[in-house]
Chains A and B, each alone.
Chain A
Amino acid sequence: MRALASGIAGLIFGLGLLISGMANPAKVQNFLDLVGTVDPSLIFVMLAAVVVTFLGYRLVLRRERPVLAERFSLPTAKEIDAKVIAGPALFGIGWGLSGFCPGPAITSLALLAKGTLVFVSTMLIGILARAALHAVGKPATEGASES
């Protein structure tokens, strides 16, 4: 049941990325290009997504628990540490270079562009490298992550 609900959510999320233009790296790079071929469309994606999520969360988080799970798994970290500065800084460089972030890249897999296949492979390596580093660094800490 829960997997089915997650699958439908994934499908709607992916369609949103496609319809909005987020899944077109050229559009993302034009959004990030403030002095060249500017395309401000992605501001509309971000605003619409945040407004809907903000309102929806307010309703949903009034519940005692989710419909199909024991409890809400919300990120608990609050402090602004070096990680939440260095991580997004690196992320933004990769995002600018490629025009891809994780959701649009995965959503583009079935379109089989060579660049997408390379990007997704090394992106997964990057995620696993972080997990490996974490496991070596300190055993078992913190709860859910925000990603």
Chain B
Amino acid sequence: MTDDPSLDGTAPVGGAPILSVEGIGVRLAGRDVLRDVSFAISPGEFTGLIGSNGAGKTTLFRVILGLQGAGSGSVLVAGRPRTRRNPLIGYVPQKFLLDPDVPLRTRDLVGLGLDAHRFGISLPSRARRARIEEMLDAVDARAFADQRVGSLSGGEQQRVLIAHALISRPRLLLLDEPLANLDLRSGHEVVALLARIAAEQQIAILISAHDMNPLLGVMDRVVYLAAGRAASGTVDEVVRTPVLSELYGHHVDVLRVHGRVLVVAGEAGELAEASDQAHTRTQVEVIT
């Protein structure tokens, strides 16, 4: 079992960016989904990929994962061109629907993260079991380790999927809208867990969200997507009225209220969506 790189090997870590996205452009069905998107992520950095629905977040993830070709630009992982099966990248999808009848325990799904790409049936080994236990502890999932994944709550499933992604020791973790279907408390738990993982294990995290507020306290950097274009930097650098107005191509107001950020677009085309988001944020503040 010692020749198994996913069990004992660790990827090289350096000061160089773990992920470099350089001038990515994607055109789908005659529409520019992404235009000249560039940013870089350093090891251990917590980055939020922020944008409304349809801004191109999922497409960008698919490009980084190698599931979607890009018309222009390149993606470098740890300084090298990305390969189709890249063990340096872990991924947590947004949608995960599993029937409660499917006999797949939490520990089975976490274990699949280790060796699902291998042929045959996994043979029980002490090293494998120990590694699974370690990951269950890391995401506080030991309490439901033997329950079927389909019977877990949304927040519990997110934690299991994070363990599934992390068990093969990636250096970069991509999460597609992990907070979208969670209540506030489960969302807080997931964000705190991710921040801890980034800090303790020096794993870079790229997390997409349509609302940046739950991430404000933990984000090192933000990549803001609007109309297929991106601006990146610290929250204070990017989330400003002039920067986002430039990005959207028309005037938007960035308001800071009680430590929360509100982006209000002023033009008719964006108004409905922006006011919709403002509305949900107002609700959030009433609750908290």
| Same assembly | no
